[in-house]
Amino acid sequence: MSQTFYRQHLCDCTGAMAQVGSSLRSRFRGCLLGALAGDCLGCPYESGTLLPKGVTLMENVVEFFQSFDSKRGASKLTFTDDTAMARSVAESLIHCKGKYNARDMARRFSEEYAREPGRGYGANVIDILPALGDPNTEDIYAPAKTQFDGSGSYGNGGAMRIAPVGLCSSENLERVIEIARESSKLTHANKLGYNGAVLQACAVHSALHSDPVTFDTTSFLDGLLRVMDRVEGTDDLYAGKLREMKKMLASDPSTEDVAKKLGNEIAAHRSVPAAVYSVLRCLRPVQGIPTDNRLERTLIYAISLDGDTDTIASMAGAIAGALYGREEVPEAWLEALEATADALRQADQLFDIMQGEGGRGDQK
Ligand code: R7I
Ligand code: MG
Ligand code: MG
């Protein structure tokens, strides 16, 4: 697909496919580190938090981030299924030189789950993960189609792991859409599930090629709207939420109202929009979040929406990290989070593959 198509359908929004500020390599790193950080930092809040009397969730999260101890030594903050599966997506894309291979990716999901089943996987997806690694499974998409009496899962497990797909094509948005949809269908056959992954992958892709200095929120949303209008057809579920976001960004509702309107649950259509909104709202300061670091602000805001905190923060972190780059990742996080070296390695390997594919080049 041509650069013209790309500009018309997504990125005319952002003015240019500029790499102002951070280099493209740094954006790749920021994306995977942001996703990892959102998962690790959101996880402690996932099952609800007992707040001291008179303390709001946002105040509690701000304090958690401020008291962050970079000398945690052996007791690193651990990642959950979100990162476990995202790492498998990245590893498969790296192994297959940037191409999507359904069998390879499915087998990696299955093996990763067998290795560490206690990472907090969704209650239903675990029923089909073993079959995804079984060479006797004839149709690798078949197990997912059996979920929920044949309607397929609309959990956010397809979207939570999709960030590497948003990185995997320099200008070809159609390819991003197709790989996001197909790779999600390995576990999430419900259109709400895989369309959530399409939206998240496109948000990452668009952020990656946007200039954070001249970033235009309306154009960014319009680009995503064009994709979702086309992908959803008459459904208008994700597209409707994107339209709603424009109004919300003007009226600036409370985090409680944002969670009510956009959702904060485990369903893809009740969490992906909240992640996108968190990034857009945190382009500018937020009352009650005293930091100039926009990635950190985004994660605090996303976690303050409550509910499925690891996943909403991870998806928001991936988009924000792709926009701001690795420079926005606090050094303390690199010390304190599990598996940061793996995220950096995978980001660099994906970047090198995309460069070899005829990417536009790292400008630093
Ligand atoms: O989507 P999935 O991988 O779960 C991801 C979530 C993230 O928050 C992770 O951090 C982790 O905590 O789990 O796993 P699934 O089992 O496919 O879906 C998750 C849950 O969504 C299911 O267990 C159901 O509760 C719900 N769900 C549905 N409920 C009713 N009808 C998903 N699809 C349906 C449905 O069609
Ligand atoms: Mg999780
Ligand atoms: Mg979660």
Mean pLDDT by 10 residues, the chain (364 residues): 38 39 90 98 89 94 85 79 98 97 98 98 98 98 98 98 92 93 98 98 97 96 98 96 98 98 98 99 98 98 98 98 98 94 98 77 36
The burial of 118, by beta-carbon neighbours within 10 Å (0-12 exposed, 13-18 middle, 19 or more buried), is given as exposed
Distance (angstroms) between ligand 1 centre and the Cα of 145 equals 14
Tell me the C-alpha to C-alpha distance, in Å, between residue 80 and each of 56, 110, 172, 188, 346.
25, 15, 30, 18, 18
Is the CB of 309 within 6 Å of ligand 1? no
Look at ligand 1, atom 35, and give the residue with the nearest C-alpha.
Answer: 153
Distance (angstroms) between ligand 3 centre and the Cα of 110 equals 19
pLDDT score, position 171? 73
pLDDT score, position 74? 61
Distance (angstroms) between ligand 2 centre and the Cα of 160 equals 8
Give pTM, 2 decimals. Answer: 0.94
Q: State the Cα–Cα distance between residues 250 and 273, nearest whole angstrom.
A: 16
In sign, the C-alpha dihedral spanning 231, 271, 225, 28 is: negative
pLDDT score, position 130? 98
Can you give the residue ranges of every domain in the chain? 3-354
For the CA of 85, the closest atom of ligand 1 is 3
The correct answer on CATH 1.10.4080.10 for the domain covering 3-354 is yes
Q: Is 64 helix (H, G, I), strand (E, B) or coil?
A: helix
Check: CB of residue 309 under 8 Å from CB of residue 39.
no
Is the CB of 74 within 6 Å of ligand 1? no
pLDDT score, position 247? 98
Alpha helices in the chain (DSSP H): 3-9, 24-42, 57-66, 81-95, 102-115, 129-132, 142-145, 157-160, 163-166, 173-185, 191-208, 217-232, 237-251, 255-262, 272-281, 294-304, 309-324, 331-336, 340-356
pLDDT score, position 2? 34
For the CA of 80, the closest atom of ligand 1 is 10
Distance (angstroms) between ligand 2 centre and the Cα of 162 equals 14
pLDDT score, position 84? 98
Which of 45, 156, 190, 266 to mutate to test ligand 1, by most ligand atoms within 8 A of the CB atom? Answer: 266
